[in-house]
Amino acid sequence: MNFIDETWIGWLDQLAEQDYVVVDDFISNEFFNRIMAFFSEAEENDKLKKAGIGAQQDFQLKAEVRGDFIYWLDEERDQELSFFFDLKDELVQNLKRFCYLSLSGSEFHIAKYPVGTHYHRHLDQFNEQSNRQITVLIYLNKDWKPGDGGELVIYKEGREIMVEPIAGRLLLFKSDTIEHEVLTTHIPRYSLTGWLLHQPAGVGFLLS
Ligand code: OGA
Ligand code: NI
């Protein structure tokens, strides 16, 4: 266990009230270094791919919407990140206990936004069958400072809430209600991003 119940309750209360919560120093320096070592290895071995790349003619269009490069994680394969998957399990357990969410499964990727890229305003549920319930972001930009760009903007009730992508910061929000945007970044911007998935009521039926 990384955090005590009272700490989780404080964070999850905010999530329940505002549909989002920002938590600083969610990961330690040591964990940060381990993720960045994993990131470097992935970059050196050309594992990061243009997000959503499809047919050649789609490329231009998609680059206008989102400019990030991603690598999907696999809990079995990526044992170096076991500490992260433990943290994720702790988060899921607490969301089930304190928010009564019915969650089953998750999907995570590391993401790099090269200089000059952004992600247009969007919701993380792209289509009706999307079962993304909670968006999880861990930011990994050590020396981020005002002017570096790449802020995450949350659009909520006519307001724009800016979240700076600083190292060690966790952002959680409800995937089905929070519209958000990544502003153009002026430095290479790193994050670990994922979604906790809703357990569909008829899962047995759908799978059979
Ligand atoms: C996404 C997204 C936000 C961020 O990947 O869907 O909105 O801050 N990312 O990286
Ligand atoms: Ni998003």
Give me the number of domains the chain comprises. 1
Contact call for residues 111 and 42 (beta carbons, < 8 A): no
CA gyration radius, the chain: 17
Residues of the chain with pLDDT > 90, as a percent, come to 84
| Ligand 2 center from residue 29 Cα (angstroms) | 26
| Ligand 2 center from residue 113 Cα (angstroms) | 13
- Three-state secondary structure call for residue 178: coil
Does residue 95 belong to any structural domain of this protein?
A: yes
Q: Which of 191, 192, 195, 196 to mutate to test the pocket of ligand 1 (most atoms within 8 A of CB)?
A: 191
For the chain, the distance separating the N- and C-terminal CA atoms, rounded to the nearest angstrom, is 36
Does residue 92 belong to any structural domain of this protein?
A: yes
Q: What is the mean pLDDT of the chain?
A: 91
Give the pLDDT band of residue 64 (cuts 50, 70, 90): confident
Give the pLDDT band of residue 138 (cuts 50, 70, 90): very high
pLDDT at 162: 98
CA dist 41 to 53, 78, 136, 177, Å? 22, 12, 23, 35
195/127: higher pLDDT: 195
CA neighbours closer than 13 Å in the CB half-sphere of residue 181: 13
Contact call for residues 177 and 196 (beta carbons, < 8 A): no
Does residue 203 belong to any structural domain of this protein?
A: no
Residue range of the domain that includes 27: 5-197
pLDDT at 130: 73
Does residue 208 belong to any structural domain of this protein?
A: no
**Please, where are the H alpha helices in the chain?**
5-18, 29-44, 56-65, 82-99, 203-207
- What is the residue-wise DSSP string for 56-95? HHHHHHHHHHB--EEEE--TTT-GGGHHHHHHHHHHHHHH
pLDDT at 125: 83
pLDDT at 160: 98
| CATH number for the domain harbouring residue 108 | 2.60.120.620
Which ligand does the CA of 66 lie closest to? 1
Does residue 206 belong to any structural domain of this protein?
A: no
pLDDT, mean of residues 65-79? 96
Give the pLDDT band of residue 201 (cuts 50, 70, 90): low
57/13: higher pLDDT: 13
- Three-state secondary structure call for residue 165: coil
